[in-house]
Amino acid sequence: MKPIIVLQTDFSNTWNAVASMKGVIKLVDKELEIVDLCHEIKQFDPWEASLSLASTVPYWPDDTIFVSVVDPGVGTTRRAAAAKLNNGIVVITPDNGTLTHLKYHPGIAEVREIDETVNRFHPEEEVEVFHGRDLFGYTAAKLASGRISFAGIGPVYPVEEIVECEEYHRKPILGDRMAKGYVMTGLKHFGGVQFNITNAEWKGLGIAEGTNVRVCITHNGKTVFNEDVLYAASFGAVPIGAPVLYCGSSRYLSLDCNQGNFMDTYGVGFGNGWNVELTGGKE
């Protein structure tokens, strides 16, 4: 069986870009299976792309090929990369921070720069603004179909040179029944947010489920949300519409509303400037 190709972009599904990528893949080999991860990654945001891959890659077979195209530097000197992870999965993407989380877990065994002289699709009209179709998708198809080996993608370069998102190195401050961090990302569909505090770090503070935790979220120094929130295993522990603090499936501490949209309800966003302080509260 040939490897599955999994696609992630910030293209949305409102125009033909994703279908064009899939078309080129099928031109290489009609038998290739293509699965969509997400095409609603925040525009031009390699950090969100990196987070998304980190929470998805562990649940796929070790011969899967991921193609992630969030590429604000398309057509510039940024590297077009193919990274082989320690578990065997290959990720083909712009080297612009998208590989940040995977570099540390599960780790990257080898990274190569795509050789455009041999691994580029040439449409009727050549352009420099659609590498998702002409470079990343096409190279993934050649690799999955067996037309090239991983070594045939292009020259190897040092893993240490992979571009990292600086947000990854912004670590929380942990203390006695307290944690300070920032709102790392948000889930647009359901409206929940994740903090840069791992589930393991949070559990290490000794705050028990069933405890009310004071959650204070500020944006550029202005308080946006400041309430006691129940820390629980899941949403159903609080009334419909109420906020709940829980350990998320992506391994980070999360805040959401039961059958509601936390970000819309409280006007909370995410990214640099959105800070959070959590302190253990009353039973």
| Per-residue pLDDT tens digits for 99-113 | 999 999 999 999 999
Distance CA 228, CA 119 (A): 55
| The domain made up of 5-166 is a member of CATH 3.40.50.10790 | yes
The pair phi, psi for residue 7, each rounded to 5°, is -105, 135
Mean pLDDT of the chain: 96
Over the Cα atoms of the chain, what is R_g? 21
- Residue spans per domain, the chain: 5-166, 170-280
- Work out the pLDDT band at 280, boundaries 50, 70, 90: confident
Exposure class string for 62-86: b at 16+ Cβ within 10 A, else e: eebbbbbbbbeebeeebbbbbbbbe
Q: Does the structure show a pLDDT above 80 at 223? A: yes
- Work out the pLDDT band at 31, boundaries 50, 70, 90: very high
Q: Does the structure show a pLDDT above 60 at 283? A: no
| Per-residue pLDDT tens digits for 265-276 | 999 999 989 999
By CB atoms closer than 10 A (0-12, 13-18, 19+), residue 110 is middle
| Most distant CA pair in the chain, distance | 67
Give the C-alpha distances (Å, rounded to integers) separating 98 from 7, 187, 239: 13, 18, 38
- Work out the pLDDT band at 88, boundaries 50, 70, 90: very high
Distance CA 194, CA 65 (A): 27
Specify whether the CB–CB gap between 219 and 273 falls below 8 A: yes
| Per-residue pLDDT tens digits for 108-166 | 999 999 999 999 999 989 999 999 999 999 999 999 999 999 999 999 999 999 999 99
Copy the structure tokens of residue 200. 């393991």
Q: Does the structure show a pLDDT above 80 at 97? A: yes
In this predicted structure, what is the pLDDT of residue 188?
85
- Work out the pLDDT band at 281, boundaries 50, 70, 90: low
Distance CA 164, CA 183 (A): 19
pTM for the complete prediction? 0.93
Fold of 170-280: Elongation Factor Tu (Ef-tu); domain 3 (2.40.30)
